[in-house]
Amino acid sequence: MTTLSPIKIFKNIIKEYNYFTKRPWSLNQVGKFWDTVEEYDEYNKKLYPYFKRFTNSKKLFNKYYKNKTNLNYKILDIQTRSGVGTLYWSKVFKNSKFTCADFSDGLLKKAKNRLKNKKNCSYVKVSKENFFLKNKFDIILCYETVEHIYKFEKFIISLKKHLKKNGYMVITCPNVSWEIIHWLAAIVEFNHSEGPHRFIKLKKLRKIFTDLDLKILEYNSTILLPFNNPISIKADIFLTKILPKKLKEILMLRHTFIIKK
């Protein structure tokens, strides 16, 4: 990590303060922010928690598609970013068609480049919380996205509208207890900024899903030690196994839901 000058740190503090306090914000502003994160993949390939979002959600989702991996699903990857999630799931659902949606032109470009050899992918830019796409989907993937939507209730309603009856959603988001850690990581440039966002309380998310008649099939909390060295990763896996559920809900970095319409 490059040593930062006090002036640079101060500028980063002001920037993060503005992202955290400014209300409201639009999806266009979110997209413009992500357009500035040129080194998105460079940051994330070094972070153990990043790819864990995919492997953990697959583990939770396994029993709901077991022996069905060759079906021709329609899958929406909403805020696909650079296409890593679509690439991961395309190896599971090999005959399925993926729609990669994002708020950022820059990230859609990265996704198209990563998935250029995939003929089963299409791309669309989304600019409203109550977005409309032509298709309904068997599966919707929504990784670390709802916290970036100011009117996130309206956005979740839109997700439901685009889900087929008995379809599934994979939704992940950060724990509110990690807000200060994300903030500090961005200030010292250990990780990229989160841009416009506000982490959402677990209780509130559960209430929204219940109010919308969305059934929570599976839930877990993961990542206490977000470091990339082998000893830390083994310790994190061990702590995930032994800590009580309620303590994990409070302390751990990420919430993951498998939801059925």
Q: Which of 99, 98, 96 is nearest to 68 (CA)?
A: 96
* Cβ count near 70 (within 10 Å): 10
In a domain, 136, yes or no: yes
In three-state secondary structure terms, 69 is: coil
The answer to whether position 1 is within a domain reads no
pLDDT per position as a tens digit, 150-199: 999 999 999 999 999 999 999 999 999 999 999 999 999 989 999 999 99
Those residues of the chain that have pLDDT short of 70 are 1-2
Q: Return d(Cα 143, Cα 55) in angstroms, integer.
A: 12
In a domain, 28, yes or no: yes
If one counts the domains in the chain, the total is 1
Distances (CA, A) of 136 to 20, 99, 259: 34, 11, 16
Q: What is the CATH number of the domain that holds 75?
A: 3.40.50.150
pLDDT at 43: 85
**What average pLDDT is seen over the chain?**
95
pLDDT score at 47: 86
Answer whether residue 65 is part of any domain: no
The answer as to whether 52 is a domain residue is yes
**How much is the pLDDT for 2?**
63
- Give residue 187's domain range: 6-60+71-260
Q: Give residue 1's pLDDT.
A: 52
Does 168 fall in a domain? Answer: yes
Task: Look at residue 158 and tell me if it is in a domain.
Answer: yes
Per the CB < 8 A criterion, the answer to whether 159 and 139 are in contact is: no
Assess if residue 244 is contained within a domain.
yes
pTM (2 decimals)? 0.95
Q: What is the pLDDT of residue 173?
A: 98
pLDDT value of position 210: 97
